[in-house]
Amino acid sequence: MPRAGLSTQAVVQAAVEVIDDDGVAALTLAAVAARCGVAAPSLYKHVSSLAELKTLLGVRVLNELADRFAAAAMGRSGADAITALMHAYRAYVMAHPARYAAMPVDPLHHPDLAAAGIRQLEVIQAALRPWQLDPADQIHTIRKLRVVAHGFASLESAGGFGLPEDLDETYRQLIATFLDSLPAHP
């Protein structure tokens, strides 16, 4: 019985590979165990339940997207930074649709997910700084940005748009409309 050398993060990594290959519905402990070369009950040494594995997967994916956000915003400001953020969001979702489907939509309500969710928020807040919005306006603005990015990305990744062509143009118009809705900034 040689030891497989697993760890919690290795199990999460296997879960990512399972959903990348076969979709989020194929995420079972049996599939993860098979990929790790281990019997299913052995996973309980590293993960307390399937629900916890899904939460850990959520943390992983939230952080991955926050990294993309930070990279996209770096060295840009104003409308340029916002545009880059929104394109980074869409690019991530299309590159990893199953991971996006595994990303919880309400991270702030779960203690283990909140930190990763806040990382994303902070990047957006920083990008909006040039507009010097008052706190209430800032909340509405961040919400609207999320609505546009999440709405478009979730529809696109789920095949919700009938015709595949011209989606770049639709998204470009959405970003332009969102930017137009912001007050002028110095």
Partner DNA sequence: CCAAAAAGCTACTACCATTAGCCTTTGCCG
Partner DNA sequence: CGGCAAAGGCTAATGGTAGTAGCTTTTTGG
User: Rule CB under 7 A: is residue 40 a binding residue for DNA?
Assistant: yes
User: Rule CB under 8 A: is residue 135 a binding residue for a copy of itself?
Assistant: no
From 2-10, 23-31, 82-90, 142-150, span contacting a copy of itself (CB under 8 A): 142-150
User: Rule CB under 8 A: is residue 91 a binding residue for a copy of itself?
Assistant: no
From 2-10, 27-35, 68-76, 137-145, span contacting a copy of itself (CB under 8 A): 137-145
Q: What is the closest distance, in whole angstroms, from the C-beta atom of residue 60 to DNA in the complex? A: 18
User: Rule CB under 8 A: is residue 178 a binding residue for a copy of itself?
Assistant: yes
Task: Compose the 156-175 pattern: x for residues touching DNA by CB under 7 A, - for all others.
Answer: --------------------
Site for DNA in 51-90 (CB under 7 A): 51
Task: Compose the 10-39 pattern: x for residues touching DNA by CB under 7 A, - for all others.
Answer: ------------------xxxx------xx
- Half-sphere exposure of residue 23: CA atoms within 13 angstroms, side-chain side: 4
Q: What is the closest distance, in whole angstroms, from the C-beta atom of residue 51 to DNA in the complex? A: 5
Given candidates 1, 5, 134, 180, which one binds a copy of itself under the rule CB under 8 A?
A: 180
Question: Which residues fall within 8 angstroms of residue 25, CB to CB, at 6 or more apart?
Answer: none
Q: What is the SS3 string spanning the chain?
A: CCCCCCCHHHHHHHHHHHHHHHCHHHCCHHHHHHHHCCCHHHHHHCCCCHHHHHHHHHHHHHHHHHHHHHHHHCCCCHHHHHHHHHHHHHHHHHHCHHHHHCCCCCHHHCHHHHHHHHHHHHHHHHHHHHHCCCHHHHHHHHHHHHHHHHHHHHHHHCCCCCCCCCHHHHHHHHHHHHHHCCCCCC
Residues that bind DNA (CB under 7 A): 1-7, 28-31, 38-42, 44-46, 49-51
